[in-house]
Amino acid sequence: MRLADGSVTNYLAIKENITARKASEAKIERLSRTYRLLSRVNEAIVRAPNRSLLFEAVCNAAMASELFQFVWIGMLYKNEQRVIPMARSGAEQGYTSAFNIRIDDERYREWPIVKAIREGVHVVMQDIGNETDSATWQDEAAKRGYRSAGMFPIREMGVVAGTINVYSTDEQFFTQDIVELMLELAADVSFALDVFAEKNRRGQVEDEIRQLNIHLERRVAERTHQLELVNKELEAFCYSVSHDLRAPLRSIDGFSQVLLKKYQGKLDATGKDYLDRVRRSSQHMGQLIDDMLQLSQVTRGPLKRDLVDLSAIAERVAEELRKAHPERQVRFILQQGMAVHGDAGLLRIAINNLLGNAWKYSGKKAAAEIEFGAQDRSSDSGEGRTFFVRDNGAGFNMDYAQKLFGAFQRLHGASEFEGTGIGLATVQRIIHRHHGKVWAEGKEEHGATFYFTLPQRERESEEAA
């Protein structure tokens, strides 16, 4: 209020209390800084390669937010039940080194960090200086100007592993909003610890697998070396069988034949029968040796894959059988155009054995018929094109089908049909070397059908192995 000359005589003052507004602005600022802290912690979780660097980044981010005066992360060392400071940032002044916090010591039972770890709950102290039960940690905190503190548990694989500890110079700092955001921060760090633990576990498993692979490779190398030695011994044995055993057999057969020719006048019927039996046995053993050698040879040596005409092979085998037994009238039905990729030598042996088997077991049929062809049995065998050799001969009982492909296993006596019981075992090994399957169906006195598959997809890795 002024006079005419402009001098002031009185004044009117209007006052407004902005304490609440300032408090609200401060709250908003704290929340904003806490959200920025969460964002920085999430960035650290993405970038940190291990938990040590993560803890360091979390502490630095917390201090950079200017919310706290001091931040540190303590982890439980389970072997000694001690809390070990892993990272720190801010005005510490030797604070963490002033304590030796043990979880199993009753003297520390009421300490906030111990309670947070043991009970898995967060603990907040809003006015450290006015706590009634003064403890060493409170005295040390008050000396450094800390007025409020919060301890937030962090977990690893679901188990409390430590705490994030933050200190402020303001009393009543930890509002409900701040506490919830700090709990979210602790949950994010816990998630990161789970990721690191899983990586470590996976790394340990990978190390174990590498060690197992090294051990397995060593074992394979040792077994391969042993197998090579066994194969060499087998080859030596086969050589011995081929030469050393055949010579005496030839002598037995030869001298028996000489006796029958030159001394037949001095031998009665019984003596001649004995010599005939000796000759048949020696010839049978010779054939058995040949079959055993062939069986051992089909599993050795590299598998050579060429385009093989199975129809042409079957025609040659059929012609050879007719020439060897001109007295028999057998009708062959041979499908044309059956070509596959495989080892020509081994497949010739397999076809020869299968057609020879059909020829032998149809020997008692006046109108024998042998068929070799291919059909689509993909739904049954899972291998696409399937080949078969069918005859209308003696057949077999399906109850004993599993014995057909075993060496020396025969379903018919030697008096009925000659043979050594090795032919089908040889066929099976040849087909298996081509990664195929072989099986048979039959009925007594109604013939038999032998099926086999020869997959045409590449098997280079398996062949190398």
Domain span at residue 39 reads: 19-202
Q: Is the pLDDT of residue 457 over 80?
A: no
- Using one digit for the tens of pLDDT, what is the confidence trace for 51-97? 899 999 999 999 998 889 999 999 998 777 889 999 999 888 888 88
Q: How confident is the model at residue 240 (pLDDT cuts 50, 70, 90)?
A: low
Pairing of the two strands 448-453 and 385-391:
antiparallel
DSSP letter (8 states) at residue 444:
T
Higher pLDDT, 138 or 241: 138
Cα gap 273→401, rounded to integer Å: 36
Cα gap 144→169, rounded to integer Å: 9
pLDDT of 220 reads 87
Residue 360, domain CATH: 3.30.565.10
How many structural domains is the chain composed of? 2
**Are 314 and 198 in the same domain?**
no
Q: How confident is the model at residue 465 (pLDDT cuts 50, 70, 90)?
A: very low
The chain-wide mean pLDDT, for the chain, equals 83
pLDDT of 461 reads 45
Q: Is the pLDDT of residue 451 over 50?
A: yes
Identify the CA nearest to 105 among candidates 124, 126, 83: 83
pLDDT of 399 reads 81
The H-or-E segment that residue 159 falls in is strand 159-168
Q: DSSP string spanning 340-409? A: EEE-HHHHHHHHHHHHHHHHHHTTT-TTEEEEEEEEE-HHHHSSSEEEEEEE-SS---GGGGGGTTSTT-
pLDDT of 15 reads 92
Residue 195, domain CATH: 3.30.450.40
Residue with tokens 């701040």: 178
- Using one digit for the tens of pLDDT, what is the confidence trace for 142-157? 888 899 999 999 999 8
**Are 35 and 178 in the same domain?**
yes
Q: How confident is the model at residue 205 (pLDDT cuts 50, 70, 90)?
A: confident
Residue 397 lies in a domain: yes
Residue 240 lies in a domain: no
pLDDT of 183 reads 93
DSSP letter (8 states) at residue 447:
-
Give mean pLDDT, residues 179-189.
92
**Are 325 and 176 in the same domain?**
no
The amino acid sitting at 80 is: E
**Are 190 and 67 in the same domain?**
yes
Higher pLDDT, 416 or 68: 68
- Report the range of poorest mean pLDDT among 51-65, 297-311, 312-326: 297-311
Residue with tokens 């990161």: 192
Residue 438 lies in a domain: yes
**Are 330 and 187 in the same domain?**
no
Residue with tokens 């032919």: 423
Q: Is the pLDDT of residue 98 over 80?
A: no
Residue with tokens 């109850």: 399
DSSP letter (8 states) at residue 109:
T
pLDDT of 420 reads 59
Give mean pLDDT, residues 178-195.
92
Residue 458 lies in a domain: yes
Q: How confident is the model at residue 250 (pLDDT cuts 50, 70, 90)?
A: confident
Cα gap 132→47, rounded to integer Å: 44
Residue 233 lies in a domain: no
Residue with tokens 């098997």: 459
Give mean pLDDT, residues 108-131.
87
Given 154, 173, 202, the domain boundary residue is 202
**Dihedral pair phi/psi, residue 132, rounded to 5°:** -70, -45
Query: Strand order of the sheet with strand 368-376?
Result: 330-334, 368-376, 385-391, 448-453, 438-442
Given 139, 167, 202, the domain boundary residue is 202
328 CB-near residues (< 8 Å, 6+ apart): 322, 363, 368
Q: How many helices (H) and strands (E) does the chain have?
A: 12, 12
Percent of the chain with pLDDT over 70: 87
**Are 163 and 311 in the same domain?**
no
Given 202, 224, 240, the domain boundary residue is 202
Report the SS3 class of residue 205. helix
pLDDT of 261 reads 84
pLDDT of 459 reads 47
Cα gap 125→139, rounded to integer Å: 13
